[in-house]
Amino acid sequence: MTKGKDIIVVEGLTKRYGNTTTVKGISFTVREGEVFGILGPNGAGKTTTLEMIEALRSIDEGSVILDGIDVAKHPQKIRHIIGIQLQSSAFYDKVTLREQLVMFASFYGKQVDPMELLRSVELEDKANSYPEKLSGGQKQRFSIASALVNEPRVLFLDEPTTGLDPQARRHLWDLIKSIKKRGITVVLTSHYMEEAQLLCDRLAIMDSGKIIAMDSPKKMIKDLLDRGFKKPEVVEQADLEDVYIDLTGKALRE
Ligand code: ADP
């Protein structure tokens, strides 16, 4: 794989809430075109980190340079080059999906082909529906479509598949892969290790506000094995998820 330039450079990033330091001077880079994952237990500081990079939370110490722009100094410029998933509460109840995408794009002074965007997230047939009629997986895909209206260079996805059924998760994985193929850099958080292993070129593992490991999933696994790690039991060639998908199929249900 050719190495892209560093599109995000994070140095000494720090966040305090009262007397608690939640993000403790972390540094890392994200390369252009890669899928970069941030993993870690609840409360590790992942969302706070993402939101500082997205110029949604103030930075107490350190810096983030995104595509050459200092995030703290030029938050407005950042908003034009990043895609952030909207929470479904941000959708307008009585506006169709198609019209909503046109509206969101207009906030950035852009024109979009809403049908093409909806097609890219497998929601073409819902173009004239209202958000309240969508299933969880459909809402997630629509929120990704809404994050793409400004043709971002970097897309941020905070736990994109949490709460989805196995079919919807697989379709979202395919969507993320296709977004990467379009050259968009993706930064995501997840609690699903198989998802991180499948999607991410590189990962940072965060715990208690610090990055405790950073590498490709393959290298992290190799390093663990090199340290003499052995699984307590031989792993079966199939698991319950394989059974479930075999029985219920890969097709999206709604
Ligand atoms: P993660 O995304 O890894 O679960 P968060 O970044 O959401 O972690 O939260 C890290 C810690 O910071 C948690 O202990 C959380 O309670 C705390 N925290 C997050 N946002 C705020 C806030 N606005 N004010 C005070 N504490 C916060």
For the stretch 175-232, pLDDT in tens is 999 999 999 999 999 999 999 999 999 999 999 999 999 999 999 999 999 999 998 8
With contact defined as beta carbons under 8 Å apart, do 67 and 81 qualify? Answer: yes
What's the 40 CA to ligand 1 centre distance in angstroms? 13
Q: Is the pTM of this model over 0.85?
A: yes
Ligand 1 surroundings by CB, under 6 angstroms? 17, 22, 40, 42-48
Rounded mean pLDDT, 40-62: 96
What's the 13 CA to ligand 1 centre distance in angstroms? 15
What's the 208 CA to ligand 1 centre distance in angstroms? 11
Q: Does residue 87 register a pLDDT over 90?
A: no
Confidence of residue 1 (pLDDT cuts 50, 70, 90): very low
Rounded mean pLDDT, 129-149: 93
Residue 24, beta-bridge partner list:
14
Who's near 213: CB < 8 A, 6+ residues apart? 203, 204, 205, 220
What's the 222 CA to ligand 1 centre distance in angstroms? 32
Residue 86: per-residue pLDDT: 79
Q: Look at phi and psi of residue 189 and say left if phi exceeds 0, alpha if psi is from -120 to 50, else beta.
A: beta
Residue of the CA atom closest to atom 13 of ligand 1:
43
Q: At what angle do helices 166-181 and 240-248 cross, to 10 degrees?
A: 90
In the chain, % of residues over pLDDT 90: 87
**Pocket-testing residue among 21, 23, 46, 48, ligand 1, by greatest number of atoms within 8 A of Cβ:** 48
In the chain, % of residues over pLDDT 70: 99
Who's near 30: CB < 8 A, 6+ residues apart? 6, 7, 8, 36, 154, 185, 187, 202
What's the 22 CA to ligand 1 centre distance in angstroms? 7
Query: Rounded to 5 degrees, what angle do the CA atoms 41, 224, 46 make?
Result: 20
Residue of the CA atom closest to atom 14 of ligand 1:
43
Rounded mean pLDDT, 87-114: 92
CA distance readout (Å), 172 to 122, 162, 169, 254: 10, 11, 5, 13
CA distance readout (Å), 186 to 94, 99, 194: 31, 26, 17
Residue of the CA atom closest to atom 25 of ligand 1:
17
Six-digit token string for 57:
């939370």
Confidence of residue 3 (pLDDT cuts 50, 70, 90): low
CA of 15, closest atom in ligand 1: 12
What's the 36 CA to ligand 1 centre distance in angstroms? 21
Who's near 6: CB < 8 A, 6+ residues apart? 29, 30, 31, 32
Residue 236: per-residue pLDDT: 83
Residue 80: per-residue pLDDT: 93
